Structure formats: structure tokens, C-alpha cells
Amino acid sequence: MSDTVEDTPTTGQKFTAEVLGTFVLVFFGCGAAVYSGGDLVATALAFGLTVLVMAYAVGRISGGHFNPAVTLGAVLSGRLPWSQVGIYMAAQLLGALLAGAVLFGLGHGFEGFVAEGNMGQNFFGDQGSGFAWWAALLLELLMTAVFVWVILSVTDARNEVNVALGPLAIGLSLAMFHLLAIPLTGTSVNPARSIGVGVFAGTDAIVQLWLFVLAPFLGAAIAGLTYPVLFGHGAAPVAGSGLNFGGGRKDQFVPGNYEAQWNQGQPASWGQPGAAWGAPPQQQWGQPDPYQQPQQQPDPAYGAPQQQPGQWGQPAPQQPAQPAQPQPGPPGQWGAPQQPAQQPGQPGQPGHWGNPDGDDDGRTQVRRPD
């Protein structure tokens, strides 16, 4: 039990993991957008690789969300209790703002640097590519919904793909979205990413932030609510998740591994086929160990364990009945054998518990009186 407690990440550890992961995502992703001269492929790969690397690094602690929209999709789909949403989103916003502040400071290493419109911020309309606001909203909504569907699918305990490949699929999908949408909106699908650099990018970027907060949240809500409807839960939803706002269980067992963080409170999924490739079934609370052999019952005569009938599908061997052996009676008696009375301090009679003089076949010997 002590190992289980130690393997369960604390709230502080989850907060730190989300701060660090979101910081790396925004710093390297938006930094590549600024310092690569707007190179499309370099920026897309920078965003995708940061999610991949940090999911491998700290995904076992928090699940590697790094995105408030992903957290919303997780809670609405039954993977995360509402009681943890505030911690996750606060950590993600803090990490993104720290990354934006560092990029803002580093930018001033160039003489004449102007942060306005030069922070890798998102955009639409006249302040960007000329893409209409409604088209930008629809695009961001659609991309976020697909992104959350992908995440929920690859982290589903029923998925027979090795769980270690989950971060790879998530990172590649984020790079895919950036290849499409960088020329149109700068690609958000992440409110924290947009806010983290947008507040340093001037008035126009701040005014447009509403779209890059609203659209990802709408897309994540659609994906989170529809995933269980379309594909099923696979296990009972976490207490206090989805449309149940009662809060999660404080004593919830959540081991420190990537898949478990995405299937919190669902013990039926851990160790089942699909949870990890070839993983053996594991014992659940209150259930017998699948690998433990049934205990054998002691023989009432000798205390030795004997095989029970039907054990492991084999019938119990039939023992032939032993015929009763007539015993000679002492002189003066008619037929029935008589045992001498045991005197205090004398050892037990042959054939009784603890008597080493008993014969092997368990028959009681009667000594002729002197």
C-alpha cells in the first residue's frame, strides 16, 4: 500500500508539470514563429515536438494537457473530475504567461525590437491575413474538436496501440493543424497559448483574444461530450466529471503513469487488454488475484493440505474404501475391542494427534493387559 501512495502524483506535482509543459510549448512554439522568420514547417514542427517531448517527460504526472481546452474535453468526457479543473487551467495560464514574458524580454536583445504584432500571436481580419472572423472561429472550433477527439482516442484504455505511442500521435496531430492554419489564424487550438503571448503583442492582439478563447473551448466541449456517445466510455466515468458537478473522490487511486492519468478512477481499465500492449490483468480492489491458486483445505485427521474436488478443472481421485478389520477383544469380553483408560501423565494413545507411535495406516492398536 505504501508503494501505491508514493506512486500517486500530488496536486502540487500536477500543477508544476502543467506549468512546465505549457511554458515549453509556448516558449519554443511561439519562439520558432518569431525567430524563424515565419517559416511554416519549422513553426509547425516546433509546436508538435514540444507537446510530444513534454508529454513523454511529465505525462505520467498530470497527463500532459498543457491546454485548457484539452482539460475541458477531458472533464466533459468523464476522464477528469471538476475538482481538478481549476488547478490545471491556472497552471497552464501561468506557464503560458511566463513563456510570453521571457520571449518579450529576449526580444529586446535586438536593437529596436517592437513587440506589437511580433510575438507569434494569433490573428484574423484586417489585423492578420484578412480571414473573416466567422471563418476563423469555425476553423479553430473544428481543429480543436478533432484535436481533443484524437487525444481521447489514443489515451483510451481500450486502444490496443501501445500507450507509449500516444504522445507521438498527439504531437503529430498538432503539427498537422499548424501546417494548415498558420497562414489563416496563426493556429491557436489552445487558449493559454493565445493569451500567453497575446497580452504582450499590442492592443489589436488583445482585442482579438476572445475568438481564440471561445472557439477552442467550444470545440473541446463538443468533442468531450460526444466522444462517450460516439465511442463509449469503456469504463465508468470519474466521480464528479461530465455533467455531474459533485467533485471527485479525494481518495481516488491514480498511479503515476501516462495512461492512468488519462483514465483516472477507472480501475477496470488498468492492465486490461488495450491499456498497454500485452499487459497482464491486475488484481482489483476486493477481487481475488487472478494468478493465485485456491487455498487447499487441511485434512481433519493429519492437517496436511489436500486437493479439493474439481480443483483447476481436475476431478478428485477416488480412494478405495478400506474394509473394517476385526480387532480381537481382551479375555472375558464378547467381541468389541476395549482401550485401556489413559492415566494422567501418560502419552497419548496410538493413532491420536501428536503420537509418534501410531501406525502408518491410522488403525488403533490395542495392547493385551498384563
Residue boundaries of the structural domains of the chain: 2-261
As a whole number, the mean pLDDT across the chain is 77
pLDDT over 70 at 331, yes or no: no
- How many percent of the chain have pLDDT more than 90? 55
Query: What pLDDT sits at residue 364?
Result: 47
Span 33-49, mean pLDDT?
95
Question: For 118-171, what is each residue's pLDDT tens digit?
Answer: 999 999 998 788 999 999 999 999 999 999 999 999 988 888 766 678 899 999
Q: What is the pLDDT of residues 318-327, one digit of tens each?
A: 555 555 555 5
Number of CB atoms found within 10 A of residue 367's CB: 10
Nearest CA to 47 out of 231, 176, 234 is that of 176
Q: What is the pLDDT of residue 277?
A: 30
Mean pLDDT of 84-112: 96
Give the pLDDT confidence score for residue 162 in this predicted structure: 67
pLDDT exceeds cutoff 60 at 363 = no
8 A C-beta contact, residue 83 and residue 209: no
State the pLDDT at residue 8. Answer: 85
pTM of the model: 0.68
Place 333 in a pLDDT band, splitting at 50, 70 and 90.
very low
The pLDDT of residue 58 is: 95
**Partners of residue 297 on adjacent β-strands:** 306
Give the whole-number percent of the chain exceeding pLDDT 70.
63
Q: What is the pLDDT of residue 237?
A: 84
Average the pLDDT over 41-58 and give the result. 96
- Residue 95, pLDDT score: 98
Q: For residue 36, give the nearest of 178, 237, 217 by alpha carbon.
A: 178
CATH number of 2-261: 1.20.1080.10
The Cα–Cα gap between 47 and 168 comes to 12
Between CA 260 and CA 82 the distance in angstroms is: 17
User: Could you tell me which residue, 358 or 222, shows the higher pLDDT?
Assistant: 222
Exposure string for 316-352, b = 16+ CB within 10 A, e = fewer: eeeeeeeeeeeeeeeeeeeeeeeeeeeeeeeeebbee
Range from 63-72, 190-199, 279-288, 356-365 carrying the lowest mean pLDDT: 279-288
Higher pLDDT, 109 or 263: 109
Indicate if the pLDDT at residue 249 is higher than 70.
Answer: no
